[in-house]
Amino acid sequence: MVLFGIIQPVMFVVLFTYVFGGSMKIGNTTDPDVYKDFLMAGIFAQTVTFATAGSAAGIADDMQKGLVDRFRSLPMARGAVLTGRTVADLVQTAITLLVLAIVALIVGWRTGSADPTNAGRILAGFALLLLLGYAFTWIGALIGLSVRTPEAATSGGIIWLFPVTFVSNAFVDSSQMTPWLRHIAEWNPFSATVQACRELFGNPGVVQSDAWPMQHPVWASIIWSVLIIAVFRTLAVRKYRSAAS
């Protein structure tokens, strides 16, 4: 799972940078180097988001193998099992993100916050990415608990990720979208984190928008992630308790 989680985003980096990069317009330029810096925040966010599918499949597999029965007799909170699982998945995602950042540096990605005093901004960007990934992991947990097989969890865990990641500002300038689609993209939690990372990384090509999440992306990213955790952790723990009863 870790190997696949690394290979997939690396393929996206190569594809969008070297195949599509020269034809992508960011602002008023089609400079591939500008697009490369614009792209990487989206690739980072996509990586932590797609890890959700693995979480859904893993939890479904644990349930199918009788994990609930093993933990039922132990003196522990039912929600602790899910919390432990999601935190373990977060650690795996962090490792994948670290490897991807190294690959990004190899292909030429650079932050505009090269000044050592701005290291905190770069770390804050990666922290927001992990927070988003952890939030989406709880959606994956709920999906994994709601289906009967790991195969169904894999399908259910990945199908919703495509509109979330592609109807966003991750790969294209959202101002070039049709108005109704642009509004959806600008209020997408995924887009808020991508925009926040671009600002924190100091990358060029950040497209301005009148939408509140795009004007205040860091706060929007935090609010969206905390809200998702609050809602879907509650639903997932409730589902787990009903399965264990």
What distance in Å separates the CA atoms of residue 184 and residue 168, rounded to the nearest whole number? 8
- Per residue in 103-162, pLDDT tens? 888 878 877 655 556 788 899 999 999 999 999 999 999 999 998 888 888 888 889 999
Q: Which of 176, 184, 179 is nearest to 205 (CA)?
A: 176
**In the prediction, which pLDDT does 105 show?**
85
Residue 173: which pLDDT band, with cuts at 50, 70 and 90?
Answer: confident
Structure-model confidence comparison of residues 227 and 243, the more confident one? 227
Question: Is pLDDT above 80 for 19?
Answer: no
CB atoms within 10 A of CB 15: 11
CB atoms within 10 A of CB 64: 14
**DSSP summary character for residue 107:** T
Which residue type, as a one-letter code, is found at position 242? S
- Per residue in 84-95, pLDDT tens? 889 999 999 999
Residue 206: which pLDDT band, with cuts at 50, 70 and 90?
Answer: low
Structure-model confidence comparison of residues 55 and 130, the more confident one? 130
Of the chain, the percentage scoring pLDDT greater than 90 comes to: 38
Q: Which of 196, 129, 139 is nearest to 169 (CA)?
A: 196
Please give the structure tokens belonging to residue 116.
């050592």
What distance in Å separates the CA atoms of residue 178 and residue 156, rounded to the nearest whole number? 28
Question: Is pLDDT above 80 for 47?
Answer: yes
pTM of structure: 0.88
**In the prediction, which pLDDT does 217 show?**
93
Backbone CA torsion sign across 175, 112, 223, 171: positive
Question: Is pLDDT above 60 for 22?
Answer: no
SS3 percent helix, strand, coil of the chain, rounded to 5, is 80, 0, 20
Q: What is the mean pLDDT of residues 192-220?
A: 86
Half-sphere exposure (Cβ direction) of 227: Cα atoms closer than 13 Å: 7
